[in-house]
Each structure stands twice: as structure tokens, then as C-alpha cells.
Amino acid sequence: MARVVVDVMLKPEILDPQGQAVQRALPRLGFDGIAIAEVRQGKRFELEVDGPVDDAALTRIQELADTFLANTVIEDFTVKVEPS
Amino acid sequence: MARVVVDVMLKPEILDPQGQAVQRALPRLGFDGIAIAEVRQGKRFELEVDGPVDDAALTRIQELADTFLANTVIEDFTVKVEPS
């Protein structure tokens, strides 16, 4: 059993109101000691794959992320195999 | 400028309907070639920190994640500094 992680984030040029809301809330919550210039919020998918994650499986997962998990008009994604 | 990533996932014992919906949709979408045993969906926060990320800054970000980004009753989180 291997774990493949797909991270989906809004493209840098797309406005991220959720991230902005988090960032603006920081001083109000007392987190004004560290200078956080930007916060962006995205999605993380953890896929538990039965069997080995070979190139064919990774290609399928790339397709899956590209067509289904991410909206590639506004989002970028990365696929990573996590060491188990 | 350094990037700190906070990943927030539902605890393993908490039902994840979003992840289940993704998993159940896979065969319907033609992704039946690879056996994906489980899908879990969570959140990823990217914090752009001005200045160095020292132990004090990391401790503050841990507190931030613990009190604000994650609901630790039902969610686990990890904090990672990304190499820039």
C-alpha cells in the first residue's frame, strides 16, 4: 500500500479570498509577532493505492488529477509519492 | 522569503464524505485501471513568511495551526518548511 498525494492550489495569478481571510485574521488573533506576507489555501488529496506505484499508475493518477481533482483553468496541481 | 506549508487532514477515525465521493466517482470516470483503496481530502495552507523561519517563528506557526487553521477535535495537522 503506497500513498500518493495530490496538492491542488489556485494559480498564483488567481485571487484567493480564503487565504486572504486567513491572513487578515492573524493580527486580530494575536499572531502579529511573525510577518506572514501571504496565505494561500488549497486542497490536499491522499490516495491510498493498492500495489506498487509504477510509472503507469502515476500517469493514470496525473490524468485523474488533471481531469477531475483540479480545475486546470484556475488551479495547478502536483503529484507526489509519499515514502511509506 | 520562506514558505511554510500546513497540511490539515481529518483524523483517520473521522468519516470523510468528500474523499469517499471522489473514490466512488473513479470507476464512473474511467479510472478503474488502478486500485485506489481510499481517498481522503484535506486542506493545504501555504504561508509566505518574511525573514528567516527560526524555531520561534515555527512555534508561532504551530500555535496558529493548532488554534486557528485546524480543528484539532477532528483534524490532524503537520507543519513543514519548504526549501525555497
Q: Interface pTM (ipTM) of the complex?
A: 0.92
State the CATH number of the domain containing residue A44.
Answer: 3.30.1280.10
Q: How far is B2 from chain A (nearest CA, A)?
A: 10
Separation of alpha carbons A39 and A22, rounded Å:
7
Please say whether the beta carbons of A58 and A81 come within 8 A. Answer: yes
What mean pLDDT comes out for the span A50-65?
Answer: 90
Q: Does B61 contact A34 at a Cβ distance shorter than 8 Å?
A: yes
How many distinct structural domains can be found in chain B?
1
pLDDT band at A65 (very low <50, low <70, confident <90, very high): very high
The pLDDT mean for chain A works out to 92
Separation of alpha carbons A6 and A70, rounded Å:
9
For residue range B31-73, list pLDDT tens digits in order.
877 889 999 999 999 999 988 888 988 999 999 999 999 999 9
Q: What is the DSSP letter of A16?
A: -
Q: Does B43 contact A46 at a Cβ distance shorter than 8 Å?
A: no
Point out which residues pair with A39 in neighbouring strands: B47
pLDDT at B66: 96
Q: For A31-35, A56-60, A61-65, which range has the lowest pLDDT when averaged over its residues?
A: A31-35
Provide φ and ψ at B11, rounded to 5°.
-60, 150
The dihedral built from the CA positions of residue B62, B64, A31 and A8, taken in this order, carries a sign that is positive
